[in-house]
Structure 1
Amino acid sequence: MILVNRETRVLVQGITGREGQFHTKQMLSYGTKIVAGVTPGKGGMEVLGVPVYDTVKEAVAHHEVDASIIFVPAPAAADAALEAAHAGIPLIVLITEGIPTLDMVRAVEEIKALGSRLIGGNCPGIISAEETKIGIMPGHVFKRGRVGIISRSGTLTYEAAAALSQAGLGTTTTVGIGGDPVIGTTFKDLLPLFNEDPETEAVVLIGEIGGSDEEEAAAWVKDHMKKPVVGFIGGRSAPKGKRMGHAGAIIMGNVGTPESKLRAFAEAGIPVADTIDEIVELVKKALG
């Protein structure tokens, strides 16, 4: 597995809000080690037995924190991520959708410069099966196994994980990187981690139309990847110039087209599934 395990100590930013409370409860019941929460003005409270602080700086002064998950409204979400990075938290999971793109451009660069890793925004988070869940995915569909998943889509991630689990293949770590035009971590950033992970035997890469992340990932796979990779591209029937679902899923000119992604995958020797069930068949074939 990569990035997170059952020992990962988690801070929840926006813990007192409806979403924050709901998902904190779900994460705790999965076994996630949540040590603190932050909501400005609510310091001194407890939510589900978790102490709440006014600032991230205050929380990390009282607790060792390895990762933060953010449930903060869009106008303040990028600043919340920056607050976590400035407090020295190494992994930041930004769930919030609809964050202004310029806010994200600024935040992504600064967080990188501070040495933290940002996942998201507009993502379902990260889960190491049967160890820890730092996100909003339905934990029960992730069974411990041999396959890593990196995905731009939430729902497709859950379906792929469920199919792999039902087939007895299971998953190691699954990372939902988010579907916005500007995100903190790309396919290409995570592939090297899975490449070196002794538990991961194959990787499923679930992409979408729009952007060039899939093409860049394919180039990396072609040059460096030692393990089999299986691909899937969502939104292949979308018309050009029309945004489909995610803000990042829009084709402009020849960049981001399904053809461009399929060609890149073919050149890298990545088989592409047309259906979720076919992902399972291709993984089985790749693992022999």
Structure 2
Amino acid sequence: MAILIGASTQVLVQGITGSEGAFHTRQMVAYGTKVVAGVTPGKGGTDLDGIPVYDSVAEAAEAHRLDASVLFVPAAFAPDALLEAAAAGIPLLVCITEGIPLHAMLRTYHLLRAYPVRLIGPNCPGVISPGQAKAGVIPPAAFTPGPVGVLSRSGTLTYEIAHHLSQAGIGQSTVVGIGGDPIIGSSFVDLLPLFEDDRETEAVVLV
């Protein structure tokens, strides 16, 4: 079993038509992630490899069930993009964006508390449930399915730990890069109970 994302999770990509967003959307789809829609203001009515693009999250949410959004949005626009996704009722936000000003992120963090939403990041590599789906920029080669969860503030160490676990024959249930910025949406304390409630996770690595 997995936490946060799995094989049936339907994903929106905000900033899907930018170079980073387009590249990693294709990587997510190649891994098996169900990316069902994207948002780029002014690009509504277009598509990326058959994935429909909308002008707003509200429009995408009207047309699709959205379980998670992955954000590849410039830092100046990321706070508004996060709030837009939360207002549309998307329960999981994975913010890849780095460099969001501290005061802006602090304000956004408090505003998000009014919504039933979980934020991973910002400035994070994302989430992967090996063999099922990934949301973000995590390169999947090091990961294998299994009973160990991983929570990490460091993207590089996340990959290194997964590689050594996999080399030792120890697979992972879900791996979460929580982000290294001073203000992040979810801490170790926030996410550990999800692993504790997952019957198929037997241990968790914290970095």
SS in 1 for 2:119: strand
Quote the residue 1:70 is aligned against: 71
Quote the residue 1:285 is aligned against: none
Distance 2:163 2:200 in 1: 19
Quote the residue 1:3 is aligned against: 4
Quote the residue 1:118 is aligned against: 119
Distance 1:172 1:95 in 2: 21
Quote the residue 1:174 is aligned against: 175
Matched to 1:106, the amino acid is R
Distance 2:4 2:26 in 1: 22
TM-score normalised by structure 1 residue count: 0.71
Distance 1:112 1:145 in 2: 33
Distance 1:19 1:177 in 2: 20
Compute the displacement of 1:196 (Å): 1.2
SS in 2 for 1:93: strand
TM-score normalised by structure 2 residue count: 0.98
Quote the residue 2:158 is aligned against: 157
Map of 1:6-25 to 2, 5 A cutoff?
A: 6-25=7-26
Compute the displacement of 1:109 (Å): 1.5
Distance 2:175 2:99 in 1: 23
SS in 2 for 1:98: coil
Q: Residues 12-65 of structure 1, C-alpha deviation per residue, up to 9 Å, x if partnerless?
A: 000000000000000000000000000000000010210000000000000010
Distance 1:78 1:177 in 2: 17
Which has more radius of gyration? 1
Compute the displacement of 1:103 (Å): 1.2
Distance 1:191 1:113 in 2: 22
Matched to 1:174, the amino acid is V
Q: Residues 226-259 of structure 1, C-alpha deviation per residue, up to 9 Å, x if partnerless?
A: xxxxxxxxxxxxxxxxxxxxxxxxxxxxxxxxxx
Quote the residue 2:38 is aligned against: 37
Matched to 1:87, the amino acid is A
Distance 1:74 1:190 in 2: 25
SS in 1 for 2:128: strand
Distance 1:170 1:47 in 2: 33
Quote the residue 1:84 is aligned against: 85
Distance 1:137 1:156 in 2: 12
Distance 1:113 1:167 in 2: 43
The structure with more helix, counted as a fraction of residues? 1
Distance 2:110 2:163 in 1: 35
Q: Percent identical across equivalent pairs?
A: 62
Compute the displacement of 1:152 (Å): 0.2
Distance 1:161 1:113 in 2: 35
The root-mean-square deviation of aligned C-alpha atoms, in Å, is 0.6
Distance 2:53 2:160 in 1: 34
Map of 1:1-288 to 2, 5 A cutoff?
A: 1-206=2-207
Distance 1:200 1:119 in 2: 20
Structure 2 stretches lacking a partner, 5+ long: none
Distance 1:174 1:109 in 2: 26
Compute the displacement of 1:125 (Å): 0.4
Distance 2:15 2:150 in 1: 27
Compute the displacement of 1:112 (Å): 2.1
4+ residue segments displaced more than 3 Å: none
Compute the displacement of 1:76 (Å): 0.5
Which deviates further from its counterpart, 106-115 or 5-14? 106-115
